[in-house]
Amino acid sequence: MTLPLPASDRLPLSVLRPGDRAVVDLGALPPEEARLLEAMGLRSQCEVRVCRSGSPCIIEVAQTRLGLAASVACRIFATPCGAACPAVTDPRAGDPPVAS
């Protein structure tokens, strides 16, 4: 299988280290796998935190923790962002809290 070459600032998710934060791109995945991951909460341009690298690669996206086989993680490309992460997946950051 030939994997698309990542852009210079992008790395396969599988090589990031625990604690790293990154914005991911699912463009290299087959559509069916990408749809499943999107339904599970992992969408392109969302920020993730790596909890465990290698196989399985464990990531946290919003309040969900996902385990990904190495064959999947190596086809998800990620742009490390560290403290500069835009936190695009945390919609609560926008509006002030409303008490119930």
Partner 1 sequence: MTSPSPPTSREAPASPADAASRERLLQVRTPPVPGAPVRLAMIGNPNTGKTTLFNRLCGVRARTANFPGSTVDARLGTCRLGARAFELIDLPGSYGLDLDLPESRLCRDCLAGRLEGFRPDAVLAVLDATNLPRNLQFLASAARPDLPMVVALNMIDVAARRGLSIDAAKLEARIGSPVVPISARSGEGVESLLSAVDRAKPPEHPCPDQPGRSDACADWASRMVAESVGGTESAGSPVDSVRDRLDRAFTHPILGLLVFAAMMLGLFVAIFSLASVPMDLIDLIFAELGGLARGVLPPGPIADLVSDGVIGGIAGTVVFLPQIALLFFLLSLLEDTGYLARAAFVMDRLMCRVGLPGQAFIPLLSSHACALPGIMSTRLIPDRHDRLATILVAPFMSCSARLPVYVLLTTLLFPHSPLAAGLALAGCYLLGAVAGLSTAWLVRRTLLRGRSRPMVLELPPYRLPSIRTALLATHDRSMVFLRNAGTVILSICVVMWWLSAYPVAATPPEAEALRGQATAIEASSSPEEAALLLAEAEAIEQRAQQAQSFAGRLGRLMQPAFAPLGFDSNLTVAVLTSFLAREVFVSTMGVLTGAEDPGETEGVVDAVKQATRADGTPTFTPATSTALLVFFVLAMQCLPTLAVTRRETGSWRWAGLQLAWMTTIAYAAAFIAREAMLAAGWT
Q: Footprint of partner 1 on this chain (CB under 8 A)?
A: 18, 32-33, 35-41, 43, 49, 51-52, 55-56, 58, 60, 62-69, 71-72, 89, 91-92, 94-100
Nearer to partner 1, 9 or 64 (CB): 64
The CB-of-47 to partner 1 minimum distance in angstroms stands at: 10
Q: Residue 78 CB, nearest distance to partner 1 (Å)?
A: 16
CA distances 29 to 12, 35, 76, 92, Å, are 12, 9, 7, 29
Nearer CB in complex with partner 1: 11/70: 70
- The CA-based angle 48-52-53, given to 5 degrees, is 90
Which residue matches tokens 């790596």?
A: 50
95 burial via Cβ count (<10 Å: 0-12, 13-18, 19+): exposed
- Choice between 9 and 17, CB closer to partner 1: 17
